[in-house]
Structure 1
Amino acid sequence: MWAKSLLAGSVLSTALAGVIDLSIPSAGELISDVEAWIHPSSALDFQEDYYDPQAQVKRKLCTLHALGDEKDDSNNLVAAFEKCGKGGIIRLPDANYTIGRPLDLHLENAVLDLHGWLSFTADVPYWLENHFDFPFQKQSLAFIIRGNDYILDGNDKGGIDGNGQVWYNYAKDFGNKYGRPMSLTIKDSKNVLVKNFSIIQPQFWASLVWGSENVYFKDFYVNATSFNPESSSDEKNWLQNTDGSDTYQSHNVTYENFVYQGGDDCIALKPNSTLITARNVTCFGGTGIAFGSIAQYAGVKDIIEDVLLEDIGLYPSDQCPGYQGVYFKSWLGYSVGIPPNGGGGGYGYAKNITVRDVYMEDIWHPLVVQSDLTYLEFNRKQYADSGLFEWSDIHLKNFTGTALANRVAWMSCSKITPCHDWTFEDINIKPGKKDHPEIHYTCNNFVLGGNDGLSQCHPSNSTFETDNGGTL
């Protein structure tokens, strides 16, 4: 009977072939085509000879569609990088792509054309066990891009969503809590442009430039915001360690038009950062622009050199005060404890640094030098003035705005390596409190000359240097 039905169907199809145009799709075929368009069976489309109007050349194009329904797009993203990551364009047109595992990807003369968000899953136990190690301070990485001559373009529409709220809840009482992965790492790369790109809700540091050269961030945005209602009344900062961007062992890194909101360093120059430039940077909340921390590892030489920062705005946010403005921080001269929160005993220098045209509004500590940094609780006085790192040839110009407390400048260098060859020009920051004018400016262990421009720091050592808050 079944065979007869098949035969009858075949005869009928043959008979109708001359009467009905079989090229016209049936209703069922149309429904199938629409379903395939909405949910393509193959998420990756490939064009061999796509004309790139930007480069005005033909190149490979991989268009990757999201699987949707929070299905992991990681494997398909890897496939797109493998197919078009050398000389091609990887285009992600959809609103959201789920990243459920650590990724280490490679680009060579290629473009990541992102029109939506790479969204990390919120599975904290999984990420604590699955990440790439970053040896400095025993930190973790989630997403690495390596290579040369590549572009990361967020098209003013997207970038990375770290799903950070679960991490802020996880770490709210503890700085540098283990396992929080960084959202984006540019590693072992040369000639990189990151443009029109955003990172929202980073798990830890939003971005890291590591071992790279000639990296340019243009129109870059980072926002870490806690939506946990408990955080609004908590005295602790739930957003600690949400740095905007950090440089480490990297040369010639530029930030232009960068906006940050969070609870830690807006930009931080870690060890061996050279030729760093930042222009038109606005920071809401956190610890401002940080040089360091540095000299954390005993016997290791670190440097920060050839830095220009200009047109900087520093403000508190609704969630986090502005703790520091411009902050130079190096570790104590002895190794006490282990990283990330302990250590010390490193040495080296920072020089040829210019910071100019800075506006601050209600910042607790506008100018800070700390040469005996540690995050451990112990009798710190036993290691006072022990720092081995040298801060010199540093020039601050045209600083305006307001401090919240008495202290405008709290700059304590080490007796072993005093600060020298600093200049201050047009420093006009008003203290928020005036009950102790002697501590508006404290510059301990500074070698100051007649032309340094900061007469308020003569003499350099304050007898009121007992409270690092400046609120005696």
Structure 2
Amino acid sequence: MNKTGSTCTVTPSGGKDDSAAVMDAFKQCGKDGNIEITEGNFNIGKVMDVLNLQNCAISIRGKLTWSDDIQYWLRNSISVTYAGRSTAWRLGGNNFSIRGHGQALFDGNGQKWYDQNRNNSNQNGRPISLTLWQAKNVFVDGIIWRQPQFWHTFIAHSQNITMTNLDMNATSNSQWSTVNTDGTDTWNSKDVFIANWTVTCGDDCISIKGNSTNIYVKNVTCHESGAMCIGSLGNPSTTPDYVDNVLFEDITAIHSSNAAWIKTYPGVGHVHNVTFRNIKFTDVNQPIYVSPCIYSYSNCDASRLKIRDITWENITGTSRYNVAAGIHCSGAAPCENLRFSGIDIKPKNGGQAQFLCSGFDKEKSGLGCTGTCPGNWPQQLKGNH
């Protein structure tokens, strides 16, 4: 690492662990400075935690490869509180940018993680690639992810975040699936703008979790994913979760599990003012889905987490089976003001699309419900209804 004035330049060591040099650059130039990570191959063998960035411009043109020392990461990855999750790299502070110029490549050595996880669910210590934590006024642009360890990104306790032109891909090359390699999740954050992403992942493409406000997602293409998702929310059931003012717009989902959906546990809080607009998809298992009892499929009508003022507008494409929508709202807190227009979903193998509805005013919704939706309706279908 070389410092000239207020600029710190990091060049590859040629095979050694470069994380100390990167951290040195953050320490010396993270305030009122510039950090340049040049072209070349960088090895990242240690956690990187920087929470005091201030008026800093970060430029990355190289490839950063995280080590496959799984035991190290399980022991040392940094807690991000949410659901016992942790991260390999945490950045926070005020007024900073990370520009990848379409060259920066983050390689998480994810195949090692997918294979050792053997299709099991979340593993404590399995790290999120990059977390924005207590970050304010941040711009992230032009970064490529390949084979992340876990979620690609996480936005937590942050405000005024813009993330554009990102390319993410988690694809397993073995018998074991990637399991929970979300594109991004927001939590306890507000004023987030996401645009021009291409994501291939094994779970939610964009997931809006508890206490997220003013989120705008535009022009995102999702492959093999859950596409646009509110949730999960409401766990633990005693802690209120709120989601307000979310717009998903101009989204494409290809061969995915869901497209435009809301999932909560039987909890408390609310989901208010969410719009899914101009969502196009091909071969999606269950495009529109709402559940108050995700995963357990029990106690569904006891949830007091209110879902209201939700709009699905111009939702078009092909469903894998004949169910286009499965919507069950809690009996204890029926959904209010669900609105549908421009819904054109056709089963890819022909037949009549089914729209299953329970727990909201069907007559005023504009959906044209064809039947009722049980509380234990599954998130993923295995055939026609």
Which TM-score tier does this pair reach, normalised by the shorter chain?
Answer: over 0.9
Q: Which residue of 2 aligns with 1:323?
A: 257
Contact residue 64 and residue 107 of structure 2 kept, 8 A:
yes
Letter in 2 for 1:453: G
Contact 2:315 2:345 in 1 (8 A): yes
Cα offsets for 1:92-141 (capped at 9, x unmatched): 11322111111111321111110012211001111111111122111111
Other structure's SS at 1:81 match: helix
Say if 2:360 is the partner of 1:446: yes
Equivalent of 1:125 in 64, 67, 71: 71
Q: 1-side partners of 2:118 and 2:356: how far apart? A: 32
For 1:246 and 1:462, locate their aligned partners in 2 and report how far apart those are by CA, in whole Å. Answer: 28
Shift of 1:433: 4.9
1:134–1:141 contact (8 Å) kept in structure 2: yes
Matched residue SS, 2:26: helix
TM-score (norm 1): 0.78
Find the counterpart in structure 1 of residue 28 from structure 2: 83
Q: Distance in 2 between matches of 1:147 and 1:463?
A: 46
1:257 aligns with 2:196: yes
Give 1 or 2: higher strand fraction: 2
Superposed CA offset, 1:142-176 (max 9, x none): 10011111110111101421111111112232111
Report whether the alignment pairs 1:210 with 2:159: no
- Cα distance in structure 2, aligned partners of 1:159 and 1:415: 48
- Residues 328 and 374 of structure 2 are in contact (CA less than 8 Å); yes or no, is this contact kept in structure 1? no
Gap change, CA 1:178 and 1:146, over 3 Å in 2:
same
| Greater helix fraction, Structure 1 or Structure 2 | 1
The answer to whether the aligner puts 1:46 opposite 2:3 as a matched pair is yes
Matched, 1:283 2:222: yes
C-alpha separation in 1, matches of 2:47 and 2:378: 43
d(CA) in 1 for partners of 2:374, 2:35: 61
Write out aligned runs for 1:21-420 (5 A): 44-48=1-5, 60-69=6-15, 71-105=16-50, 106-228=52-174, 230-231=175-176, 238-316=177-255, 322-331=256-265, 333=266, 346-374=267-295, 380-381=297-298, 383-420=299-336
- Equivalent residues of 2:77, 2:126 under 8 A apart: no
461, 467, 472: which one pairs with 2:372?
Answer: 461
Separation (CA, whole Å) in 2 of partners of 1:365 and 1:258: 22
Paired residue type of 1:77: V
Q: Is the 8 A contact 1:205 1:241 kept in 2?
A: yes
Query: How far 1:463 sits from its partner (Å)?
Result: 7.9
Asked whether the 8 Å contact 2:239–2:268 carries over to 1, the reply is yes
Relative to the length of structure 2, the TM-score reads 0.95
Query: What secondary structure does 2:20 align onto?
Result: helix
Distance 1:201 1:397 in 2: 34
Paired residues of 2:44 and 2:66 also in contact (CA < 8 A): yes
Is this contact kept in 2: 1:268–1:292, CA < 8 A?
A: yes
Distance 1:449 1:157, change over 3 A: same
Counterpart contact for 1:420–1:448, Cα < 8 Å: no
Q: Which amino acid aligns with 1:266?
A: C
Aligned-partner residue type, residue 102 of structure 1: V
If asked which structure has higher relative contact order (CA below 8 Å, sep 6+), I would say 2
Unaligned runs of 5+ in 2: none
Between the aligned partners of 1:198 and 1:46, the Cα distance in structure 2 is 27
What is the rounded CA distance, in whole Å, between the counterparts of 1:217 and 1:121 in structure 2? 26
Contact 2:273 2:310 in 1 (8 A): yes
Alpha-carbon separation, structure 1, partners of 2:335 and 2:117: 35
Q: How many residues align?
A: 382
Q: Secondary structure at the match of 2:293?
A: strand
**8 Å contact from structure 1 (residues 149, 191) kept in 2:** yes
Tell me the secondary structure at the aligned position of residue 373 of structure 1.
Answer: coil
Measured after TM superposition, the shift of residue 65 of structure 1 is 1.1
Aligned residue for 1:303, secondary structure, equals strand
Q: Which amino acid aligns with 1:374?
A: Y
State the 1:68 CA deviation. Answer: 1.4
CA deviations on 1:246-292 (whole Å, 9 max, x unpaired) are 10100000101011001100000010010000110000012111100
Q: Match of 1:264, as an amino acid?
A: D
